[in-house]
Amino acid sequence: MPRLALYTFGVLKSPLADPAPLTREFYDIGEAVYRKISQYPGYLARAEAAGGDRGMLFEADWGAWGEFDVPTWYDKGRTVETTALATTLSLWTDLDPAFEAVYSGLHREALNRRYDWFERTAHPNHVFWWVPDGAIPTWRDGVSRLEHLHGHGSAPHAFTFHHPFTPQGTPAPRAALPGAS
């Protein structure tokens, strides 16, 4: 049975290494969010660097998740001292559990604070796509799908919560986003 890949990407207002209170706060809540997300039914796995070093993204060993990559529009630093981004790559059983994990609990609280930490942008901040059972999506896959979504909108190849697709490529019922009418 196909599995759902989710890639998220955001540009932070300050580098990850910044000792300012907002950056520390983002880190602190991020660790707690990851712990909670991993407990949701339907969550399968996420890309984690072999060394687990904070802020070490470009040089890290990501194993089967491939070499770290970012969208072409990211124009900030690429060293531990200058990197100013937050990104995830994860696998889910289906859209509903991912939706529940993203739009409830601690992650929902973090979403409500996103503009404290992240720059506002016209680029999409997440993308989904289906992968065959047993396949591990790579960072490059996520970047490619996010860039495709930005250039072409939702399609079976790359889609959002607002415009999802089934594994067969047909439109799926739209997720009922909190606050949406």
Answer for the pair 159, 129: CB distance below 8 angstroms, yes or no: yes
Given this model, what pLDDT does residue 165 score? 96
Could you tell me the pTM of the whole model? 0.94
Given this model, what pLDDT does residue 180 score? 42
Given this model, what pLDDT does residue 181 score? 36
Q: Tens-digit pLDDT profile for the chain (181 aa)?
A: 999 999 999 999 999 899 899 888 998 898 899 999 999 999 999 999 987 766 689 989 999 999 999 999 999 999 989 999 999 999 999 999 999 999 999 999 999 999 999 999 999 999 999 999 999 999 999 999 999 999 999 999 999 999 999 999 999 987 655 544 3
Given this model, what pLDDT does residue 175 score? 63
Whose structure tokens read 């993204």? Answer: 57
Q: How far apart are CA 62 and CA 47, in angstroms?
A: 7
> Which residues, other chains included, contact 93 with Cβ-Cβ below 8 Å and sequence gap of 6+?
3, 4, 41, 42, 44
Q: How far apart are CA 64 and CA 57, in angstroms?
A: 15
Given this model, what pLDDT does residue 27 score? 85
Given this model, what pLDDT does residue 179 score? 43
Given this model, what pLDDT does residue 91 score? 98
| Alpha carbon separation from 171 to 22, 100, 111, 180 (Å, rounded) | 39, 20, 26, 19
DSSP secondary structure code for residue 37 in this structure: H
| Alpha carbon separation from 98 to 17, 168, 169 (Å, rounded) | 29, 19, 18
CA atoms within 13 A on the CB side of 112: 9
